[in-house]
Structure 1
Amino acid sequence: MIVHCGDYYADAQEIRARLGIPVLAVKGNCDGCFDFEACSLLETECGDILITHGHMEDVGFSMQKLYYKALESGCIGAFFGHTHRSVFVETGGVYLLNPGSLSQPRDGSGGTFALVTTSEAGLQAKIYYYEDFMLPAAGVGSTGGGADAPDNSAADNSAAGGTASAPETPASPAASPVAPAVRKPKQKPKVKGGHLRSLINYSDRF
């Protein structure tokens, strides 16, 4: 399944039509959506996950509103977009994940997305740089499937699976710094193309 956190809801419909795989999508501010209830719940083995674009929760300033909305909805976490900057943190028992943007990143990364795995044991997520992920397919060396997700908070994200470890005491999401996923300079040619990316307009998705 692909989860599309907006904007440009029509992109999700196009991907669903071309690839024939499930796509869960929400609308964002660029879709003219300003409804506080414009969100979806993704049911998983480890609990429900709130899917929202994030503009109505003011995620550009703080993740605090999103954090409490997830709690009030009885969710173990929330996936969101809007900022075009990747972040994965766990705070107060709630996972907050923004995959960043593939087409218009605002963190100097060249485009990011996230892969998420859920099971009864919990949730695992890892943020990937698109170019690193596509290098093996382009025949340019091997990176093992992409770069490790940047450390975006005080939470301890394991490099092995990108799983955020719970702090000993619940922390306020407003106090969790959201550092940009700045891409380190590399002497590798820029990879372009890719079937999925060719379908993208200006979305944040993973």
Structure 2
Amino acid sequence: MATEIIIASDTHGRSEYLSQLEQAYPHADLFIHCGDLEDDASYFNRWIFVRGNNDFDFNLDDYKILTIEGMRTYIFHSQRMPYYNREKALVKLALENDCQIVLFGHTHMAMAEKIHGIWLINPGSMTFPRDGNSPCYARMVIEDANHVQVELIHQEQWPFESPQQKKKNRYWF
């Protein structure tokens, strides 16, 4: 049996995206936010949150470790990781915690790579991407350790309209 996970990060107060993701993926098994929600996490009881560097007022954990389909998954914001050699440091963190997947945010740059047997997944930012691409979130499906699928879903493929798209689609006469 497979587990479908929707992953977001760095929404920076644009919490309507979380509700839109829930509506777009009603059968998803998990919703994970990798920090910088900048809202009250208690409003979103389907989501698992960790604290980002801009989540000052909320009682969130700095990291979480979940086991999903037998795979240990380390979830955190990553603001304390080095800028240079970040991937190497993330792989080391995963190995030190016996994890096969690391979900992280903070950089606002989407990535999904398997490095030295460790999945490193950053869903980017749904509000302020910094990599020259459009806003993004991630969808991951895990069947088992040998069957992990990750897709980065950029704004052009979102199954809902963002507030920015709605503004562009208005017609003025």
Residues 1:192 and 2:166 aligned together: yes
Q: CA deviation at 1:9?
A: 5.4
Unaligned runs of 5+ in 1: 17-21, 139-189, 194-206
Paired residues for 1:1-206 under 5 Å = 1-8=30-37, 10=39, 12-16=41-45, 22-32=46-56, 38-58=62-82, 60-61=83-84, 62-120=86-144, 121-134=146-159, 191-192=165-166
Per-residue deviation at 1:26? 0.4
TM-score under structure 1 length normalisation: 0.57
Per the TM alignment, residue 11 of structure 1 is displaced from its structure 2 partner at its CA by: 5.2
**Judging changes above 3 Å, is the alpha-carbon distance between structure 1 residues 3 and 104 closer, same or farther for their aligned structure 2 residues?**
same
1:29-54 CA distance string (max 9 Å, x none): 11249xxx821012111411100100
Distance 1:114 1:71 in 2: 23
Q: How many residues align?
A: 131
Shift of 1:119: 1.4
- The letter of the residue matching 2:158 is F
**1:99 partner letter:** P
Q: CA deviation at 1:105?
A: 1.1
Deviation string for 1:49-86 (max 9, x for gaps)? 1001001223x332222211111100001000000010
Structure 1 residues 43 and 54, CA gap change in structure 2 (3 angstroms): same
CA distance in structure 1 between the partners assigned to 2:81 and 2:55 by the alignment: 16
Whole-Å Cα distance in 1 between the matches of residues 38 and 92 of structure 2? 25
- The structure 1 segments of at least 4 consecutive aligned residues displaced by more than 6 Å after TM superposition are none
Percent of residue pairs identical: 29
Rounded to whole Å, the distance in 2 between the matches of 1:24 and 1:45 is 17
Residue 47 of structure 2 aligns with an amino acid whose one-letter code is V
> Structure 2: how far apart are the matches of 1:131 and 1:107?
16
Query: TM-score scaled to structure 2, two decimals?
Result: 0.67
Unpaired segments ≥5 residues, structure 2: 1-29, 168-173
The answer for the alignment partner of 2:23 in structure 1 is: none
Residue 101 of structure 1 contacts residue 112 of structure 1 at CA under 8 Å; is this kept in 2?
Answer: yes
Judging changes above 3 Å, is the alpha-carbon distance between structure 1 residues 9 and 26 closer, same or farther for their aligned structure 2 residues? farther
Paired residue secondary structure (1:69): helix
